[in-house]
Structure formats: C-alpha cells, structure tokens
Structure 1
C-alpha cells in the first residue's frame, strides 16, 4: 500500500488530460483454437524510443482455453471518492478474466515493462461458488472494490439463472459476491459503467452463452433474440430503477460510455446492427426530470457488396453491415470513436452536442470487402475493434479481433493479430501512424488495450473539471 495517493489518480478528467503521456500499452493476446495459452503483451508506445511499436515483454499464462477478452485495473481515480475511497491503493494490478474458462488472473505490472508477473489466479470454481455466475467479461474499479460483469449464469451452458455483476476485494482480490439486490427485468448482461457522484449505473446486453460461444446464431439474430435494452440502477442500493428497450430490431446494445465529467448526466451506447436495414447506430441516453431517456442520434449505413465477396453468413444480404462493436469517449467528452468492424472503418464523431453527433474524422483499415491496407503496407486482418484513447485525447489505438468464433464467421481464415495507432488533429480528424504497427506472435489474435497510467475507458472521476 502507498503512503500517499497514486499520482496516476486524478480528481477530474481535465487534470487527467494534463498528466504525463503513456509510454506503455498492455494488450491481450488470445489463442483462438486454444492450442497455446493466452497472454499479455507489453507494447512500447513512446515515439522517442528505438522500440516504438514493439512488444517489449510477453507474459504467457499457465492454462489453455481462457479466451481473453476484456480486462481492467484494480484501482483508478475513483479511489479518490470522498465517500468510501481507498486513496492509498496503487494502479498496479491488471484483472484479466477468461471469458471461456471463467478463470481470472491478477497480474502485477509494477517495476517496469519487463516485470509483469502473475500475482494470483482465481479459479472458476471460486467464481461459481461465490456468485453463481460464469463467463466474466468487463472490469471496472469502483471506490470500494472491483466490479466484474458476467455473460453467463450457472450450469454448464451458463443459462441456469441470469448473468450479472459481482464484486472483488480491491486489495486481497477475493471474490465477495453478487452486486444485485433487485435486478428487475434484467436477464442478459454485457457492459456497465456509472456516474459515481450521481449514484447511478447503466448496463447493457449482448446475449447468453449459447448465442455467442459457437458464433452468432443467425436464427436468433433474425428473430431479434439478442439484447436490445439499457438498464439503469441505483448504484448504492444495487437496485434496477428503470429499463429502456431500444426496440427489438436494434440487436446487441454493447458498450456504454457515460460522460467523464460527473456534472453531465448523459452517455452513449453503440448498437451492433439494426435487423431491418443492417445499419449500425449510436444512442444517447440522459436523465431528466428524475427519469432516464434514450434516443438514436447517429446511424451508419451498410455498404453494398457482391454476394461472391461476402462470407456465407452475409451472402443473402449483398451488403456489409458496419457492425459497431466498440465505442470510446475522449476525456473532454468531445470526441466519440466508433469501431465499424464489418466495413473496416474507425469513425470519429464530435459529440460536443450529445444529441447531435457530427462526423469529424474517418480512416479505413481492414474490412470484410474493402480489406484496406495499413499505410505501412501491412494487411490489416478483420476490422477495427477494441479502441482506446490516450488521456490527452491526441492518440487513438485499436486492435482487430472481436471474438474467436465470430472472427471466423465474418472473416474466414486466420487473418492475424494487429494493433495500430492514429493521431488526432487539433479540431478533429484522424491520421494513421505509418510507423506504428505491432507484430504479434504467430497463432495469436489481439483484443483489448490498457494504457499505462489509465485511459478513457478505464477511469471514473468523482470531481468535476474546472
């Protein structure tokens, strides 16, 4: 334990933006066929270094078949909460869940880029016994502990009861138990985040394990059986206070991104596909008059394509859906980045007016039909997927794998791992960095990224920006 607060804890988003630039990125590597263990790659992102864009350390796990997906820090700026903070924690440990195995690794990254090591392994039996949940997915660090969302309930196929969120101790890493006291109508789970001073949380929905583990189930998708609702919670009472249905055709309401400044009571959600027209969409949700509301504020159309150029799953549509699989919001709440995994596009929206997003920048790399190359000349397999933004908003990083079985359906054949970076113009706009191309070990795919000192999809803030 530190004797004073970790200097990477920032009271407000504005102060975080003024902090030192990241020099390291931590990126998950997964083995899609479970032939080798998953791992963590430590990438040098310091442009002044001779090792810029290179993996400087790899931590390979002792087990196979975990399927690393999302992960997060043990503690962040929410530790400075005036209510129930642990101000003397360190942003030191990465909590890495295996979405297939339900095993959780606690990795200590203190001591420099080559010092990352396993601190503790939480076996799936402990998760099952203490929570009744399975398939841990998203990690967020709150003032009093580590919150973990899950995609499965109990039983072999994860459908014995609904999935939900559980809490871990942020110092011992013991699994404490379920979050929910009253879940209301919530029966699926995906992402979640909160506004701590306003004392509410929002969560979203993907699907149950039989709907995603073997790949997308076309019959379920066309029958609108994937998630399409947002759930709002009284954070401290752990009670569902409102559920908003976006419409059953808006399939897979995934990432939720609240405004970082806690004064603002709005946020964004990305929807993968509209089954009536193959559009992707961005929704803005907000609280007014004591109630939550949600509205579709941006749409992204599909691109026409010849059936012969499409994978079997899409041939009958003769179009490529954008497939909005990730979104991320800059710390100043100005730019929203949208990954269009199907069309191979990274979009940047100016959301200064959250009810009227305006397209401010775009780059293409990868894509089902486009297959746009990176400016380095390398082929970018799959499409832009997990996106992460530097705290100062000047750099945007992303990888290319969605989920192993889904990768194989939409992009048949192994396309390899990729991680790239774009620079952001002063008034918007994106330019891919020709010099930043990360080579991953053969047989791996790359998923989520975490940045040294925190990033825009990690930190929660308890104080407004001045």
Structure 2
C-alpha cells in the first residue's frame, strides 16, 4: 500500500507557498457582544468566479454563549516540516482551534470532509486550561515546534490578572500539555508570540491583564503608562527567557509580532497602539545586533485633528483621532507590511524591502471614528469600525480585513455601534491598493454578530513559518 503523502499545504519555502493554488474560502470568527446568541465560525466564498463570491456560504455555531471568539488558527501548518517526532503523513492542516477570550474555552472544529461545513469535535474548557497550564483568557495561537502554542492573557483561575503566558497543546489530540515556559523571566503581561524558526528564537509581546482590557481601555492606566510596552526574546527549544527590550513606557500596548518569513532572518516588526506623548501609533523593527536583540522605531503615524463634537467621550479632550494601530501583517515574500489604523479608518501599505526604511506605497480608507468612509459597493452607507484584523494571501495579491476590535473597545470608540463588515483589497505587485467593489459581506449576512479574525484556506501570511530559505 502506498504511503499517504504529506499535506500539500505544508510549504518548505515562502516562494513555494506563494506559487501554490490560491484560497477559495476564508474562515472568519464572529461573536455576539450581548452574549445572547452563539458565537460562530463563518465561511466566506473568496473565489471571484463563483456565483456566491463575497457571501457567507457556511456557518457553525459554538456550543455556548459569551465566549467572545477573537483570534484562532490551525492545528498544523508549514512549520510541521521542521518538527521532530511527528508522523508527517498523519499530520495535516485540518482542524481550527477557536478560543473564547472571555470564557477561556477552546473549541476545535474539523474542516473536512466539507470545507464549507466545519464541525465541532471537541471543547477544552477553561478549567482544564487552568489546571494543566496555569493560564486563562486564551488569545493567539500558532502551530509550531512541539505542538500548538497558545498565548494567554490571564493566570490560573482565581488569579486572572496573571502573569499570562503560553500554553502548549498537542497537535493531534488538542490536549493541554503544560505551560510552555520553563523560565519565564520578567514577562507579566502577554499578547502575541511567534518565532525565528531556524534561529531557535521566540518573540513575545505585551497588552495588559484581563481587568485592564475587558471593560474597555482604562484612561488612568493608559495615561499612567501602565499597559505593556516591551517585547521579549526566548530560547524556543528550552522555553527560557533570554532578553527583555523596552520600547519606552510612553509606547503603550505592543501587540502583533510579525517576524520575517525568511527562516534565516533575524528581524521582524511589532505594532504599538498609541503613544501617550502625542497619540501617534508606531511600528518598530527588532533585529539582532551581534549577541543582543534591539528594536528601533521605523514608522510613526500621527493622529488626525478632529472636531471634539464628533469624537467619543474618551477622545474629546484631545480634539484628535489617534490611528490606533491594532493589527499588522507582513506579506509572505517580506516585501509589504500592512498596518491597520482602526481609529482613522485607514489601511496603510509600506514597502519594507529595506526593513530599516519602510516607505508608504498604498492606502485606502473605510470607516473611521470621524470619517465613516463608505465602501464603493454601498456609497450611501457610512461605515463604523475600521480596518482591524488583516490577512494577506500567500501570493500577496489579496488583502482581507474585518472591522471589530474587541467588544468593550468597539463600544468605547464607536459608541453608536460598529456593525459588521469585511472588505478585500487588490494589491499591485509594485505597491498600491484598490478596494474590490464586488466583495463586501456585511450587516445581517452575519446575523447580528461582529466579525474578527480571518484564516485563509491553505494558509496565509500570518499562520505559517517556513524552514528553508
């Protein structure tokens, strides 16, 4: 009998990933802010030749209510090619692990045999996560060495405010194995984690503990510079903390980490939501300088002046809209960096061919706290929310994003509601963005739920690590 082949969506190089067949479907998680309806995994048709292009074509409810699904991801991906001790012919990119940021439950969905109909196969409750790993409030996950790495904002039950950290889950059984860290060092707040796979380095970032975020941003804590403002470097194989790099206390909330997709590289980007000095947002490049890690600010995005009457209460005293950088994404070829400015409603594209000197080459606007820029498909409908969770196709030609940040923060900055919408941009190979007028799932298509993160069939720019140059 012939041996089963390795999953064809495991790519050894970024170039191989870009050359593979494009995505036909996008998985998008959606949540009910009121916790009266079930949160859901939705499936969007992204095949432009399909009659249902840009429409919701699949829907699976979560079993409980009030999970507030947020970030999610695959059980396995291209990094599996670097693993040792796995049966590579049994491991496949098949299951989506969907954590609830408020409930601490983790629901596992099987996307086969019908890619449009994910089926729930397992729920790991928050008590199990707490007992086995000592963490709660699961946030971001990446398939990687030894298993699934799941960052958590909170500590064990009864100690929700931490420290947060990384739980390690089994690729195949989804059992919570343990806390990943063996020597956690000084990191207390947590947010994101990813790695330089061939360098044996993990990078992690900081947001805040659950009580600092779950009811909205706390102005006193922000102005007191109490949110996270550092990134951390770890020995990936050993789980040992190596170095803390402080970006400066004024640079509040260091969120998404996006390492270069080149497995031999030693640089990447992290986005900072806001500066308490001037309301700007910023992008920092980390890199290794001989034996030490360091970081430098390479992009600053200033706030935009605004009529206080058009601003939510939290911003009225400043008479300005901060960009509020809430997500970034790096194309698989490391050529373009995308920056979501959720406050101003702008998606920016930077050429980062020279990562130390990014140059803006594209921009579109949809939504925004003041502008409420409409989508070309509905030019008379002002949009709330703004570009938030962004995902880039493996070939770099398509950029997708949704408009909700986090329930309580949505309400704080868009008090009249954010609605629900998703957009797609076409990216020029030489730089530049245009809105796809035929792609605009929105409103009741999402059954009253708000939409958050996106995962693309076959992998995308923020879910895979490659192990060959």
| Shared fold per TM-score greater than 0.5 | yes
Q: After the TM superposition, which residues 12-91 of structure 1 pair with which residues of structure 2 at under 5 Å, given as runs?
A: 12-81=13-82, 83-88=84-89, 89-91=91-93
- Please, which runs of 5 or more residues in structure 2 have no aligned partner? none
Change (3 A) 1:85 1:262: farther
Q: Which residue of 2 aligns with 1:143?
A: 145
Give the TM-score of the pair, scaled to structure 1: 0.98
Q: After the TM superposition, which residues 31-430 of structure 1 pair with which residues of structure 2 at under 5 Å, given as runs?
A: 31-81=32-82, 83-88=84-89, 89-156=91-158, 158-159=160-161, 161-377=162-378, 378-430=381-433
Match of 1:460 among 441, 465, 469: 465
How far residue 281 of structure 1 moved from its aligned partner, in angstroms, is: 0.2
How far residue 123 of structure 1 moved from its aligned partner, in angstroms, is: 1.1
How far residue 111 of structure 1 moved from its aligned partner, in angstroms, is: 1.8
Q: Deviations over 1:392-427 (max 9, x none)?
A: 000000000000000000000222111110000120
- Aligned-partner Cα distance in 1 for 2:418–2:272: 25
Residue aligned with 1:437, SS:
coil
Pick which of 370-379 and 30-39 moved more. Answer: 370-379
- Aligned-partner Cα distance in 2 for 1:33–1:350: 40
- Aligned-partner Cα distance in 1 for 2:383–2:159: 34
Q: Deviations over 1:303-354 (max 9, x none)?
A: 0001101000000000000000000000000000000000000000000001
Q: Which residue of 2 aligns with 1:432?
A: 435
> In the alignment, is the contact (CA less than 8 A) between 1:26 and 1:449 conserved in 2?
yes
- Aligned-partner Cα distance in 2 for 1:424–1:183: 40
How far residue 380 of structure 1 moved from its aligned partner, in angstroms, is: 2.7
Q: Which residue of 1 aligns with 2:4?
A: 3
- Aligned-partner Cα distance in 2 for 1:349–1:98: 32
Q: Deviations over 1:132-184 (max 9, x none)?
A: 1100000100132111000001244612x401001011011111010011111
How far residue 83 of structure 1 moved from its aligned partner, in angstroms, is: 4.2
Change (3 A) 1:83 1:198: farther
Q: Deviations over 1:414-447 (max 9, x none)?
A: 2211111000012010000000001333321000
Number of matched residues?
Answer: 462
- Aligned-partner Cα distance in 2 for 1:136–1:352: 34
How far residue 110 of structure 1 moved from its aligned partner, in angstroms, is: 1.2
> In the alignment, is the contact (CA less than 8 A) between 2:312 and 2:413 conserved in 1?
yes
Match of 2:447 among 438, 442, 446: 442
> In the alignment, is the contact (CA less than 8 A) between 1:79 and 1:86 conserved in 2?
no
> In the alignment, is the contact (CA less than 8 A) between 1:80 and 1:86 conserved in 2?
no
Residue aligned with 2:117, SS:
coil
Residue aligned with 1:338, SS:
strand
- Aligned-partner Cα distance in 1 for 2:44–2:217: 31
- Aligned-partner Cα distance in 2 for 1:113–1:51: 15
How far residue 196 of structure 1 moved from its aligned partner, in angstroms, is: 1.1
Residue aligned with 2:446, SS:
coil
- Aligned-partner Cα distance in 2 for 1:6–1:266: 29
- Aligned-partner Cα distance in 2 for 1:146–1:166: 8
Q: Deviations over 1:264-294 (max 9, x none)?
A: 1100000000000000000000112111110
> In the alignment, is the contact (CA less than 8 A) between 2:106 and 2:126 conserved in 1?
yes
> In the alignment, is the contact (CA less than 8 A) between 2:366 and 2:383 conserved in 1?
yes
Give the TM-score of the pair, scaled to structure 2: 0.97
- Aligned-partner Cα distance in 2 for 1:462–1:84: 16
Q: Deviations over 1:235-260 (max 9, x none)?
A: 01111100000000000000000000
User: What stretches of structure 1 move > 6 A for 4+ residues in a row?
Assistant: none
Residue aligned with 1:435, SS:
coil
- Please, which runs of 5 or more residues in structure 1 have no aligned partner? none
How far residue 62 of structure 1 moved from its aligned partner, in angstroms, is: 1.5
User: What value does the CA root-mean-square deviation take over the aligned residues?
Assistant: 1.1
How far residue 69 of structure 1 moved from its aligned partner, in angstroms, is: 0.3
How far residue 195 of structure 1 moved from its aligned partner, in angstroms, is: 1.1
- Aligned-partner Cα distance in 2 for 1:195–1:300: 27
